A and B are shown apart, each in its own frame.
Chain A
Amino acid sequence: MNPLHRFVRPLRALFGKGKLERDMAEEMRFHLEQRAAERAADGLSPEEARHAAERRFGNLASLQEQARADRGWRWLENLLLDLRLGVRSLAKSPGFTFIAILTLGLGIGANTSMFSLVNGIMLKPLPYADADRLQHVYRVTAQQPEGGHSPADFLDLRKAREPYGDFAVFASDRVSLSDPGKPAELAFAGRSSANLFALLGVVPQLGRNFLPDEDSPGRSQVVILSQRTWRNRYAAAPDIIGRRLRIDGEWHEVVGVLPASFNDWRHLGNVDFFRPFTFTPEFSRDRKATNLQLFGRPAPGVTPAAAAAFVAGFGERLVRAHPAEHAGSSWRAVSMQATAAGDSGGIILPLLIGLSGFVLLIACSNLANLLLARTMTRAREFAVRAAIGATRLQLLRPLLVEAGLLSLAGGALAVLVAYGFRNWAALRSTGDNGEFVWFEVDWSVMGWAFGASLFTAAAFGLAPALFALRLNLNDTLKSGARGSTGGRGQQRFRQLLIVGQFALSMVLLTAAALFIRGLHDLHHRRAGWQSARLVTGGVALPSGTYGDAEKVHAFQRLAVERLASLPGVETVALGRATPFFHWTDVRKFHVAGRTRPAPGQEPAAMVNSISPDFLAAFEMRLIAGRAFGEGDRATAPRVYLIGQATARAWFGAEDPVGRRLAQIAEGREIFTGEIVGVVADFQSVDPDPNPVVHHVYQPLAQEATRGFEIAVRAAPGIAPSTLVSAIRDTFAALDPDLPVRRLQPADRNIDRALYQLGVLRDMLGAFGGLGLALASLGIYGVIARTTAQRSGEFAIRLALGAGRRDITRLVFGPGLRQALAGALLGLIGSYGATQAIASAFPGIHTNNPAVLAVTTLILVIVALLACWLPARRAGRIDAIAALRAE
């Protein structure tokens, strides 16, 4: 018999049973007839002969059964039978089945969704060739643990790269992109060394890569588009190669289009298009810049450790060769893949997985409890089956099959939940360029859902299985028709499950509540400024058209003038940054007349360049001196405003107004200016780990600032949103090539900036709610069932004179005790969870006893309710009816 035949035959035995059965029957009938004929030849009547033959043959049916057992896949047949029985028995109690599948689906679904998040952010490799070999090189300084590099350093590194492999640099910028006959748009553009895509191992889908010398002067007016830009802006035009477009007012030729796989939002996928740097002699000499991101690909055979050592060694050589720029800095190479998750991802993702695991555990213990109760009511059936000789396996099989069926259905529902989560997350995460962030539900996610189902089946199927194995046959059979509540051991186990559930949901609930509260506080923090009547938006003047400082200042003066004359506008201000978010312009200062600290040790502050009405527009308070005025022009003496904390730190009790401040750049004092006022401190809505932030303000008119924010304050009674189109028209009239980014009411901009944290908040909230709902469902179910089973006992108690209140107390007391014990245990656990959140988001205050107290109260009230409902019913039972039912 060939192997295929060998495999097919049992299958035929299983599914084509009809024909085989007929064959078997016919064969045996033939035998019987022959035997009967033989006996008839011995002289028996035909009737007697047939009987004799049949006696001899024995039980035909059992013979066939045995023959079938010998040939088919007995176990598979039995499994199908068990499955059929399992489905039937689950269908008989649809309420239980529904709750079980829903519980599981939500539990596994929460967990699977979180896994899809981790998969999408951390596990999936970046879309480059041999992505795990690539490295990101940081320049580490006291201020910047993940700092960038200068062109001169990069060129030096490139000359010395031999033992390492190759390096490429990249920098991003906001630029204006315009095509003939179309309005200008703000685009997120990248510049790179010509070898970037070759280094990443990315081949353009259309056209070609940058040529090796296209980052040299005169050759660099070429652009490679991202797949997204090509599709969205150019409708995937096949003749895009060779077309010319204007970037910041300069003509560029399209030479390539990147493949779709490059659109990975974790890395360079959000860049709209790439141009080569232009390594002019001047640019190549620049050793001060810190905006270049440096990527490296170690040559084959170079270990990551050796590569990192080379990079660190090169950093040390730079410090010795150029101490003025590099004193106190060092270089560090990390795997590029590790940078994909972002800063807080490293803590927050495991936290989410862990918390969603809690939801799953609650779901599991809930089901364990439900199944246990269900099994106990079938104790008699089990006892009878064991008594007539069922093996352990035969006893357990229906239980295991039921658990398996439930968890499979739960797993299928979980995949649906994960899909729903993906769509929700995509909706919530619409990026600046209108692109969704997808967490693909791929095979590894499916695998996780399946694995989680198996885990849950094992976890919640175990309890009833142990119960069935330990069943005391004698007692169970003797106890007659009365339902069993299980022995002491089972009782304790079920109580333990309840305690555990409440502990876990306490952790979930407090973690969620503290985070929600903390984020809410942060989000609505208007510490030192107001945003209610403001419209804000960003402008970036292209350096091509606005080359010299005077042009920038003229544009800004004109813009303020025109905007202020719009109807409904109260105040207009421009500034490099708003107080809503972190300021990123960090500079070093020195108080004139004091001894200079060592280079690199000068005090640093966040700097903002602002127009005269800036403080008024944001309702920021001036504490001392004066604000900037129209007189503080480029030609006037330099002036500064400083923050309150800065004044305290730098001047102590002295009056800072009138003192002079020197700005330090490249290790030298570049100019000094007079402090004319002190501004009250403020806090942005960004979670900021530093409690004290130093602020210094300088007039916008005294330093050409091409990228700035506009803030237009509406007059009282005017909705800021009604001003948006007039503001846009004003800018279009000033310069049709100039886009205004995110022009909308300030509060909406603030919401938008915090959306990631909002997503996190919603997820934690969902976990907390889900955990509580499942736990209360669990305690309710257990108490209700116990009550139903003990109705006979309660009836006797009532008959003997117990009050209804006594009965209620009998049920209510233990349930509540378990819930409280769980909540107490959970408080300890929630301390750990909030510590983890606090370390991921240092700016969010999670230390909030009031919230903790309220959360505990909510949990206790829910527990009270879940216990009280069935307890009340216990007190109301009709003693006579219950006793009669016995």
Chain B
Amino acid sequence: MAKKEDLLQGTLDMLVLRVLSRGELHGWGITLKLEQLSKSALQVDEGSLYPALYRMEEKGWIEAEWRTTENNRRAKYYSLTRAGRKQLEVATESWDRMSAIIALVMQSA
């Protein structure tokens, strides 16, 4: 197993939004997806994930619906709202800017 990286402060929301932008998922699904997309380099802490989900639901970025999974289990599916989509754009843009600046500094110093 590759070494796990801690998530950079404040990026979890953005990552979750990004994952959800491809389609609705339940909490467990989000964990899996994040691990899969990061090639298991990221390990999402449930203690952070669920409060983040509730917070974003509160802000109106995502909405939830109870549905049954393919194995016939009840699960809560999250999907992006229009506000969430907009937030994702904003967050992505500022992330791009920030990472470019950091890269610039790190290379020139």
Q: Identify the A interface with B (CB < 8 A).
A: 1, 6, 9, 23-24, 26-28, 30-31, 34-35, 56-58, 63, 66-67, 70-71
Contacts and interface: CB of A to CB of B under 8 A. Distances in A.
A27 B27 contact: yes
A70 B51 CA distance: 7
Interface stretch (B5-13, B14-22, B55-63, B86-94): B55-63
7 A-B pairs with the lowest CB-CB distances in the bound complex, closest first:
A1-B60, A34-B28, A58-B47, A67-B54, A31-B28, A27-B76, A70-B55
A265 B105 CA distance: 85
B16 to A, nearest CB: 14
A70 B46 contact: no
Interface in B30-73: 31, 45-47, 50-51, 54-55, 57-58, 60, 63, 66, 73
Contacts of B50: 24, 27-28, 63, 67
Contacts of B46: 28, 31, 56-58, 63
User: Which of A1, A26, A35: most chain B Cβ within 10 A?
Assistant: A1
B26 to A, nearest CB: 7
20 contacts: A1-B63, A1-B83, A6-B60, A26-B76, A27-B27, A27-B76, A28-B27, A28-B50, A30-B74, A31-B28, A57-B46, A58-B45, A58-B47, A63-B46, A63-B51, A67-B50, A67-B54, A70-B54, A70-B58, A71-B57
A30 B26 contact: yes
A67 B47 CA distance: 10
A319 B57 CA distance: 84
A637 to B, nearest CB: 105
B19 to A, nearest CB: 15
B58 A71 contact: yes
Centre residue among B46, B55, B81 by max chain A CB count within 10 A: B46
Given A1-B63, A23-B76, A30-B27, 12 more contacts: A6-B60, A23-B66, A26-B74, A26-B76, A28-B46, A30-B28, A30-B74, A30-B75, A31-B46, A58-B45, A63-B46, A67-B50
B51 A66 contact: yes
Given A30-B26, A31-B46, A35-B28, A71 B54 contact: yes
A523 B75 CA distance: 88
A23 B26 CA distance: 13
Contacts, number: 54
Interface centre among A24, A26, A31, A35 (most CB of B within 10 A): A31
Contacts of A70: 51, 54-55, 58
Nearest to B43: A56
A62 to B, nearest CB: 8
A30 B73 contact: yes
Nearest to B75: A30
Nearest to A65: B51
Nearest to A64: B50
Contacts of B74: 26, 30
A114 to B, nearest CB: 49
A26 B64 CA distance: 14
A492 B27 CA distance: 62
B40 to A, nearest CB: 12
A808 to B, nearest CB: 64
Which among B54, B60, B75 has the highest number of chain A CB atoms within 10 Å? B54
Nearest to B60: A1
B30 to A, nearest CB: 10
Contacts of B81: 1
A59 to B, nearest CB: 8
Contacts of A6: 60
A44 to B, nearest CB: 15
Nearest to B49: A31
B84 to A, nearest CB: 10
- Specify which of A23, A26, A27, A56 lies most central, judged by the most chain B CB atoms within 10 Å of its CB: A27
A63 B81 CA distance: 25
B74 to A, nearest CB: 7
Contacts of B75: 27, 30
A58 to B, nearest CB: 5
Contacts of B73: 30
A57 B45 CA distance: 7
A634 B65 CA distance: 108
B83 to A, nearest CB: 8
Contacts of B51: 63, 66-67, 70
Contacts of A67: 50-51, 54
Contacts of B31: 31
A31 B27 contact: yes
A841 B28 CA distance: 86
- Residue in B45, B74, B76 whose Cβ sees the most chain A Cβ within 10 Å: B76
Contacts of B54: 67, 70-71
A28 B31 CA distance: 12
B20 to A, nearest CB: 16
B65 to A, nearest CB: 11
Nearest to A72: B58
A30 B26 CA distance: 10
Nearest to A3: B60
A71 B47 CA distance: 15
A286 B60 CA distance: 84
A193 B27 CA distance: 86
B28 A63 contact: no
Contacts of B83: 1
B72 to A, nearest CB: 12
A56 B48 CA distance: 12
Nearest to A69: B51
A762 B60 CA distance: 64
Nearest to A13: B58
A60 B47 CA distance: 8
A673 to B, nearest CB: 99
Contacts of B57: 71
A645 B97 CA distance: 104
B64 to A, nearest CB: 9
A30 B74 CA distance: 8
Contacts of A1: 60, 63, 81, 83
Contacts of A71: 54-55, 57-58
Contacts of B60: 1, 6
Contacts of A28: 27, 46, 50
Contacts of A23: 66, 76
A661 to B, nearest CB: 97
A13 to B, nearest CB: 9
B28 A57 contact: no
Interface string B83-109: 100000000000000000000000000
A68 to B, nearest CB: 8
Centre residue among B51, B60, B66 by max chain A CB count within 10 A: B51
A31 B76 CA distance: 10
A35 B28 CA distance: 8
B27 A63 contact: no
A35 B27 CA distance: 11
A519 B29 CA distance: 89
Nearest to A53: B46
Most buried by A among B27, B58, B75, B83: B58
Contacts of A57: 46-47
A309 B104 CA distance: 82
B28 to A, nearest CB: 4
A70 B50 CA distance: 11
A63 B47 contact: yes
A612 to B, nearest CB: 98
Nearest to B52: A70
Nearest to B83: A1
B99 to A, nearest CB: 28
Nearest to B59: A1
Residue with the highest number of chain B CB atoms closer than 10 Å, among A23, A26, A30, A57? A30
A70 B47 CA distance: 13
Nearest to A33: B73
Nearest to A6: B60
A71 B51 CA distance: 9
B54 to A, nearest CB: 5
A56 B50 CA distance: 14
B41 to A, nearest CB: 17
